[in-house]
């Protein structure tokens, strides 16, 4: 009986250890998943781009100039979508994204970082993204216009949920698979697909982007709601 008991204890301990390992694995996987996609490339990309940041800062390029230039490219992309000039839209989105990377890098290495600069950058991001979605809406002449409207609404919801959540003390940086960088990256490929494969594939791509953007907005809402609910329960239990 003692031998059987020891065997049972051995396998029970082994099962418990394995279960704990599996739980920790999925926790870590979830954390990685919440901070995935473009965030994973920012560190190495920053190292590669640092010499360019330093050069531009040295010759006196101000990050606010780059921010306004990026906004101009986004507006150009919106016009291109509205005019069905998809290759121009793709190039303009690429240049806008590059400008968005440059302004932050120059601000950091050149000592230009400031609250007003961050505010200008956020406003320019929202206006530029809106211009692109308005262009997508205008490019359609039927019910597909609601695709562009949906992208506009849920993309702004993602930004609002982060601002509101962080205002309430809930950190949301990197939460969700379709932050602004990922949305611009997806729209860049949507424009290329329109050039390469035609309007049907383009419309399907926009549908996929809308689904992912909607999922991200819901993900952030649930994240904030659950965190605030936990805070409330902890406060009432004290």
Helices 145-167 + 180-197 axis angle, to 10? 170
Classified as helix, coil or strand, 225 is helix
The answer to whether 120 and 107 have CB atoms below 8 angstroms apart is no
Concatenated DSSP letters for 8-67? HHHHHHHHHHHHHHHHHHHHHHHHHHHT-TTHHHHHHHHHHHHHHHHHHHHTT--HHHHH
125 assigned to active site: yes
Q: Which residues of 189-223 are buried (b: 16+ CB within 10 A; e: fewer)?
A: ebbbbbeeeeeeebeebbeebbebbbebbebbeeb
Q: How many CB atoms lie within 10 A of CB 77?
A: 31
The residue annotated as part of the active site, out of 100, 103, 121, 125, is 125
Residues with catalytic roles: 125
């Amino acid at each position: 009986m003692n031998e059987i008991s020891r065997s049972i204890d051995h396998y029970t301990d082994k099962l418990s250890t394995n279960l704990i390992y599996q739980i920790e694995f999925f926790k870590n996987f979830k954390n990685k998943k919440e901070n995935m996609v473009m965030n994973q490339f920012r560190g190495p990309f920053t190292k590669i781009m640092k010499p360019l940041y330093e050069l531009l800062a040295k010759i006196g390029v101000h990050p606010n100039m780059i921010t306004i230039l990026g906004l101009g490219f986004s507006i150009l992309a919106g016009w291109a979508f509205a005019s069905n000039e998809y290759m121009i839209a793709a190039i303009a989105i690429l240049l806008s994204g590059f400008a968005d990377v440059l302004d932050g890098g120059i601000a950091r290495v050149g000592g230009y970082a400031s609250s007003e600069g961050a505010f200008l950058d956020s406003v320019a991001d929202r206006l530029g993204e809106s211009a692109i979605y308005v262009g997508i809406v205008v490019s359609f002449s039927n019910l597909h216009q609601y695709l562009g409207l949906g992208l506009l609404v849920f993309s702004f919801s993602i930004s609002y949920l982060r601002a509101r959540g962080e205002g309430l003390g809930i950190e949301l940086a990197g939460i969700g698979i379709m932050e602004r960088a990922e949305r611009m990256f997806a729209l860049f490929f949507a424009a290329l697909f329109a050039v390469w494969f035609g309007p049907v594939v383009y419309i399907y791509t926009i549908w996929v982007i809308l689904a992912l953007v909607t999922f991200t907005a819901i993900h952030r809402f649930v994240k904030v709601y659950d965190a605030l609910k936990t805070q409330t329960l902890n406060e009432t239990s004290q």
